[in-house]
Structure 1
């Protein structure tokens, strides 16, 4: 017994002696777990009930930081998507980056990370209500989208102003990355209850599924017969402006985006205006919210209304009831709420009840 006690004492002393070598670094685990039941009035001609994530994306991540002295730190971040309904994890499919951060000069990161349009998420009404309310097809990327092999710089905040610049060289393409280069910039002004954000992005080689994404059956002069038919954009250019203002315990939000899509030697333009409100995001208790998006492209229009009753049991845990409805118009145009799949007619309604926990 004495030998065992001596071994344990030596191990504890050794750990204590070694710990100062790591005292300047920190690692944190964080994430979101969201799941609920969803009813969709029409997907391809029939209603559907599902258990899934649709209020907030579910994921977990690691965030690390090592103090290098003089206000400089080495940082890293990795995030893995997870489907709470099935427990299936999708690798580190979200952010995976490493970089340097300076209190004086800003932050430089390299890896898979958000493009510059992510700065508009904070002023986007749908994101305070439900991911399903995201602008049609997310072609303006306001849901927050990742790009591989990005070099990104974010400035420090001076007098309420900060911004970012990004560049990505040509890479293999997929639906969320690019087979060509990308460049972007953003600028934010945050002062008291007001935030104003603008962002620009030009990205080459995105792969889209026009009918599956938006319910449109003709784009760039080509017919798209089913959800699986794809096209590759030579360029996708997005310019967006948005703002919110906090007043009397409420947050009022507005946003407008112009998106230019180029493929097959032709150009299409998508324009979306979004307006909405929510209860102060720092409140515990009931946080009702509602919003509306209007989108136009290629002779088609989509009008999407959404609302939520969100009750925060604490600052990290809430239960919610969400309702979304989209009406589309245009030749052969059908409704297609984000990530839900196209309807067989011009309308589509989603009702969901669920729970979210953040850690």
Structure 2
């Protein structure tokens, strides 16, 4: 049997971890998030017909999920962490990722004063950080706010991935916060025999946050995607809070290394205002420009969110989308393209966290 070159290092690590206080704590938390409501959308294209649609939809404001988050303190500020998370839809009970037990996230890692390293299926770093500057995450707009960034090529090929993408076989490192600055790097192995790079993914992020002001710059790249070539995404965001008012915005450019080198630049600016502990209003404007002679698009979104308790809120969202290159689509994922260049949608829903 070959000698284990890592054994001395593992032994030293375990010895150091075990030298902490005997009162090291362990915990496992069960959590979840539910979101369901009624959505009205006009100008929905369906075969050779079009018309308005009224649908019961779930997972619009936020992805519905449940999971387990665990942590074991090893002493000397070191710890082990894991997360197992599954996505579903309350509208029909369906698992979001067929054939998987934990399709949203499944990882384990170690951390300490030097940062945290996790291994497994997990979100890229753009998804960890950039939603803080997006309309879709700062308000209950959800998929309404993600629609324009996602539909850049009329089929989610050039979406800006600000909401994050789950990456399999990923190794992620996140730094500690030092003077308001933090960062991270991630690499997803393609697991292709004979090539380390093929089908691999990489992501980087840098953030500054002093509570009132925050700014981030991130990158995500993926090789040999299903549509062909490689895809790259660079996104930056800023936010400023002044009392009950918070203003935020981001800009992203995403391009693909295939014939024609398709590219889409997306910009958005939004704000929220917290009237009191129960009532928040918010909204924003998005604009997208594409190359290759494909027309631009824009979207206006407004939202009202009322908290019945710390864990339950009801909300209303309205949006109007215009797309001069494809049939407009006011809602990402669950929505459908318009039969014209315009589409509007209204939704009333309820969210509950446990």
Structure 1 match to 2:13:
none
| Inter-CA distance 73–23: structure 2 relative to 1 (3 Å threshold) | closer
Structure 2 distance, partners of 1:122, 1:206, is 27
Structure 2 match to 1:269:
263
Secondary structure of the residue that 2:257 maps to in structure 1?
strand
Asked if the contact 2:230–2:256 (Cα under 8 Å) also holds between the matched residues in 1, the reply is yes
Structure 2 match to 1:93:
103
Secondary structure of the residue that 1:68 maps to in structure 2?
strand
Structure 2 distance, partners of 1:120, 1:280, is 21
Deviation at residue 235 of structure 1 after TM alignment: 0.9
Structure 1 unaligned residues grouped into runs of 5+: 1-20, 173-177, 208-231
Q: Is 1:73 the counterpart of 2:63 in the alignment?
A: no
TM, length-normalised to structure 1:
0.81
Asked if the contact 1:246–1:280 (Cα under 8 Å) also holds between the matched residues in 2, the reply is no
Structure 2 distance, partners of 1:88, 1:180, is 28
Structure 2 distance, partners of 1:251, 1:280, is 9
Q: Is 1:142 the counterpart of 2:162 in the alignment?
A: yes
Secondary structure of the residue that 1:156 maps to in structure 2?
coil
Asked if the contact 1:272–1:295 (Cα under 8 Å) also holds between the matched residues in 2, the reply is yes
Structure 2 match to 1:126:
136
Deviation at residue 341 of structure 1 after TM alignment: 1.9
Deviation at residue 194 of structure 1 after TM alignment: 0.9
Q: 1:343 aligns with which of 318, 327, 338?
A: 338
Structure 2 unaligned residues grouped into runs of 5+: 1-21
Asked if the contact 2:168–2:189 (Cα under 8 Å) also holds between the matched residues in 1, the reply is no
Structure 2 distance, partners of 1:238, 1:286, is 35
Of 39-48 and 155-164, the range deviating more from structure 2:
39-48
TM, length-normalised to structure 2:
0.82
Deviation at residue 279 of structure 1 after TM alignment: 2.2
Structure 1 distance, partners of 2:212, 2:353, is 24
Structure 2 match to 1:14:
none
Secondary structure of the residue that 1:266 maps to in structure 2?
coil
Structure 2 match to 1:183:
202
> Where do 4+ consecutive residues of structure 1 move more than 6 Å?
none
Secondary structure of the residue that 1:267 maps to in structure 2?
coil
CA RMSD, Structure 1 to Structure 2 (Å): 1.9
Deviation at residue 187 of structure 1 after TM alignment: 0.5
Q: 1:259 aligns with which of 254, 258, 264?
A: 254
Q: 1:164 aligns with which of 184, 188, 196?
A: 184
Secondary structure of the residue that 1:321 maps to in structure 2?
strand
| Inter-CA distance 300–74: structure 2 relative to 1 (3 Å threshold) | same
| Inter-CA distance 347–105: structure 2 relative to 1 (3 Å threshold) | same
Asked if the contact 2:207–2:216 (Cα under 8 Å) also holds between the matched residues in 1, the reply is yes
